[in-house]
Amino acid sequence: MAVEMAIWRMTSAGPQLLESSPLDFEDRLEDMLEGDPSMSGTDLLILGRQVHTDHGGFVDLLALDVDGRVHVLELKRDRTPREVVAQTLDYGSWVTGLDLDDLEQIFISHHGDEKQLDEAFAGLFDRPLPDVVNDEQQFTIVASELDPRSERIVEFLAEAYGVPINAVFFRHFNEGDREYLARTWLLDPQQAEAKAGRSVRSKRRPWNGQDFYVVLGRSDVEDDRWSIASKHGFLNAGGGSWYWKPLQNLKPGHRVFAYVGGAGYVGIGRVTGEMALARDAKIKVAGGYQPLLEQPGISPRFKEGALLDDPELAERVVPVEWLKTRPLPEAVREKGLFASQLTACKLRDEHTIATVESAFGINKTTV
């Protein structure tokens, strides 16, 4: 049974209980959950809203979590509690048959084709899309309350048969022109995970606080990103904020593992400064400083991107001091090493760190 929620306002006269009011704004709540799905208690990437099923119904919100588990969030609306339980299970039976191509099409239908599912996943969760997606599901009823009979049905399905179903309750409180929401669950989420036969997993591997993965172009196309980085000491990205914005996370002292698509790991270095526009970047030459764009070997395409007036598209750079580098034909590439389309992200995979360090002759004490 769900824990009752109450809110008190602290006053000089003592705590004053706020009266709850019926949750009669499901459309607003759906908007809020779409904008911030973590309100449900889990970080989620929204795949689609009002997703049409093969059975003629519409899933209120369909989402994906960091482990590749698909979530069905169904609001009670004006249906009876027992109807919404049955509807959620019906939608769940449809969702279990979706493959990655289906999920990608749902995502494109909802978000447009400007961003792909794997890009959005990497941008939100700071890791690539898992190899296995929709191997597990989670069905969540969103309501202000359920009747006792429906609560017993949900508890019975979850506890006796391990069905991944739960209910999250939002209570609405008013105080003058202020509104508040309070949240609780019918079943404890961690206990429900265990009873559904899942281990309660840490959503992310621990990070050592210093190492980042950075991708610098591809070896199978005309691309001078690694050349600029290795010769002039500037990590670089441009063509849209999805590409350059991750470089903002790189701070002086961070260590970077440079990767070139189609080749492998080509360098390990230390960040020495903050991200800046490429047009403003300068390098030390013969005791003085010269603009990066005036150096030999900088392609016309890179210069053009650096000089764009549109701040969304203009090239960005981050200065780096290389500890060790390799030419592309000698890049470190092994099965099982971390790789991602995200321009820069925290490198959490200890196997990758140790393997690349060893290949470059770098140990833990290297500064």
Supply the DSSP string of 253-278, one letter for each residue: T-EEEEEEETTEEEEEEEE-S--EEG
Contacts of 254 by beta carbon, 8 Å cutoff, 6+ apart: 210, 211, 212, 270, 271
pLDDT at site 22: 61
Strand pairing partners for 137? 70
The topology (CATH level 3) of 211-360 is: ph1033 like fold (3.10.590)
pLDDT at site 213: 95
Encoding tokens for residue 105? Answer: 């099409």
Q: Output the CA torsion sign for 58, 64, 67, 72.
A: negative
Site of tokens 């202020």? 178
pLDDT at site 252: 96
Note the helical H segments in the chain. 26-35, 81-95, 100-111, 117-125, 148-161, 189-195, 225-232, 241-244, 300-306, 350-360
pTM: 0.57
CATH no., domain 8-195: 3.40.1350.10
Q: How far is residue 170's CA from residue 184's CA, in Å, rounded to a whole number?
A: 7
User: Which of 168-207 are b and which e, b meaning 16 or more Cβ less than 10 Å from the residue's Cβ?
Assistant: bbbbbbeeeeeeeeeeebbbebeebbebbebeeeeeeeee
Antiparallel, parallel or unpaired: β 137-143 and 165-175? parallel
Contacts of 243 by beta carbon, 8 Å cutoff, 6+ apart: 237, 343
Residue 5 CB neighbours (<10 A): 15
Contacts 24+ apart (CB under 8 A), 224-227: 224/297, 224/298, 224/299, 224/301, 224/302, 225/260, 226/258, 226/260, 226/266, 226/328, 227/297
pLDDT at site 310: 94
pLDDT at site 361: 95
The residues of the chain that CATH labels 3.10.590 are 211-360
The residues of the chain that CATH labels 3.40.1350.10 are 8-195
**Consecutive 10-residue runs of the chain (367 residues): their mean pLDDT?**
69 83 69 90 94 91 94 85 86 92 91 80 82 90 84 90 90 81 83 58 68 93 90 94 90 97 95 96 89 92 95 96 96 88 87 95 68
Residue 26, SS3 per DSSP: helix
Q: How far is residue 57's CA from residue 91's CA, in Å, rounded to a whole number?
A: 8
